[in-house]
Structure 1
Amino acid sequence: LEALGIAVRLGDGATLPPSTELVVTAPGWQPDKPLFLAAAEAGVPVWGDVELAWRLRGDNGRKAAPWLAVTGTNGKTTTVRMLASILEAAGLRTAAVGNIGVSLLDAVLGESEYDVLAVELSSYQLHWAPSLRAHSAAVLNLAPDHLDWHGSMEAYAADKGRVYEGNTVACVYNVADPATEDLVREADVEEGCRAIGFTLGAPGPSQLGVVDGILVDRAFVANRQKQAQELAEVSDVTPPAPHNIANALAAAALARAFGVEPAAVRDGLRAFRPDAHRIEHVADIGEVAYVDDSKATNTHATEASLAAYDSIVWIAGGLAKGATFDELVIGAAKRLRGVVLMGADRALIHEALTRHAPEVPVVDLDRTDTGAMSEAVARAAELARPGDTVLLAPACASMDMFTNYNKRGEAFADAVRARADESA
């Protein structure tokens, strides 16, 4: 930076440099930092990377591509990638950008031309993006997360709700999560912008949903009071777990809001494959399925993962990040064949199991080394019966034992494959 003639100041940014006219921050910086407080007192605006990209779009002399934006506590990346797959199937030039893949600044200023962008946005990014106005946007769900950054659930939800501000065509919400619909009601949108719900049940007017294994649209049809348009089959979605079907419906709603035809929705969903460590089937050993959902780093994601299977040996634990596990255990108790716990905060999950599922066998591994995963898989295999699923869905962050959730998932998959080789 200094070689480019840029003044560099190292430290915590406690003071605002003289003559500052604008602060552009990385999204992870918390809003209560002294630099931001000083900027507010001086009347200096603070932007994030998303705000900067929004204001610079079109500066390369080309028409600015509209944004289809997705946020929510869980499922953002999968939904955005599904959306990009659908848009590509429709023959549109697009990319999955933002909190995923290509950075927004590269997307709006680079050489590639796009017809539309599928944009994943975190609550951090939305907090620092006051002028963002998407074509259409979705909030997939809301559950407590990142409260150390936002300060409260109310502030977290309010930052998520910013994604709806100024929408021009559709605000997509989750019928099963009323808090997302509340955010639509509170948003200041363009005249004519519609509220579009998605549900795993039969859809009402202005909703997308599921009927007899078919994803259907009662929102973007000529007579939504009496008509429904078939979009795809549940079997077209991989994997067809309930929360993944919800992701597919949200992606389909945004695509349909942009005018995409039903056949492209089907083709795009058929072509989509999830990223690694998201309900990823690793192997079947002795009629027991082994599934890696290491990306389930909070209780909300783990709840959805556990709901996808009927009889489970659950591998869980790690860094709880202030979470509690009572509601998670209560909801999953009837599905649990057994539980294997490891990691720094495993005792919190163990205590919840003792209170709400005392009959479920629990193996408590007093280890936080990376080699614990092999033992966890071995102990889970001892608990499992034919027809069961051994599910890594930790409900916790990974950094007590692993570099990230990817490394944790890889350790699980390696242990499972080693076991499969032994039994071959």
Structure 2
Amino acid sequence: MKIKLSDCVRPLLLGALFLGAAAQAEVQPLNRVVAIVDNDVIMQSQLDARLREVQQTIGKRGAALPPEQVLSQQVLERLIIENIQLQIGDRSGIRITDEELNQALASIAQRNGMSLEQFRAALVQDGLSYADARDQVRREMVISRVRQRRVAERIQVTDQEVQNFLASDLGKLQLSEEFRLANIIIALPDGSSPQAIQAAERQAKELHQQLREGADFAQMAVTHSASENALEGGEMGWRKAAQLPPPFDAMIGAMAVGDVTEPMRTPGGFIMLKLLEKRGGGTQVLEEVNVRHILIKPSEIRSEAETKRLAERLHERLLAGEDFSELAKSFSEDPGSALNGGSLDWIDPSALVPEFREVMSNTASGELSKPFKSPYGWHVLQVVGRRATDSSAQFREQQALTVLRNRKYDEELQAWLRQIRDEAYVEIKL
């Protein structure tokens, strides 16, 4: 049935004629202010929408919901804290462009293994609109930048704190090597007979032999393992050696990725572990390149084509035997390297722009590259040498710095949130 606009408006006009107390008692506001926060307000519709999202999230985890009044108060407090930070962001001039927002949403979709269109469809299926999702992501990006300015930038970690952490038992544990493992367990009940133990051992050895002959570990785990993670192919996730029972703790460090242990007797039965991945710890080798270059930039008085021709002429002069260092001092427009004959010294390739890094990787030691373009202009480079540097100590110090900064950030953030909440004017209308 088609609804006429006049049919919708007429009851409203008629209702406006009756201003008695009885008529007023029947009016139900569709929306209302539930909290005043400094110069802004939080509406009932915002609270209801966020409450539904939280309830859905808790429901998906299979956890029991707290009483709605308790949950509503917690959600409102979260909205108040968010609102204060958004107002700080607005006063600080923090703005999120549509391009940045689109990139963030595309990244979220990709992390969930979806295209942007699939992500839209998934939101609709969960009862959420794409417009609301965009608004929420924008809010979170603003809040993240506010925290970066107000909290992260004032965190300081001293060299002494880093060294103390590296020397501590906690530091050694946190920065030790990690292993991603899978297991197969042939279970044995308590008080098993010798015959049952022998039968379980024979089964474990037969499975191990099949694995050595190329059988798929995950499939064997699903079919034969008694572990609680059998249906996940025996996947155990990441573990440190200290978290494994003997003798696995001692042997895991010498294993190569893909290796499977012999069946080991434990109180619960016979266990085999497969090493799927390893990370951290050990020696960190950094590949460095000693490179020098000449940079020529386009300008108002030199066109792109003229810049390219100059780079080509310099390349020809280098091939003819002229000194690289002297030409770099005379022509290079890279202020950081020109006075040093164009030398960038030993450098980590990851610190360079992709165009420069790619040409450098394809140029042999002692050779010149052809002129090429990067965002900075036209280059000619020469690779002087390459070396592998043990950066284990530097890598561990960087890891320790990251751990300590994150720890301080969490502490500082909570203190800062309490501070801005105490300083804000908040009037709850519920």
Same structural fold, with TM-score higher than 0.5 when normalized by the shorter chain: no
Question: Which has the higher relative contact order, 1 or 2, with Cα contacts under 8 A spaced 6 or more apart?
Answer: 2
Q: What range describes the TM-score normalised by the shorter chain of this pair?
A: under 0.3
| TM-score where L is the length of structure 1 | 0.18
Q: Which has the larger radius of gyration?
A: 2
TM-score by length of 2: 0.18
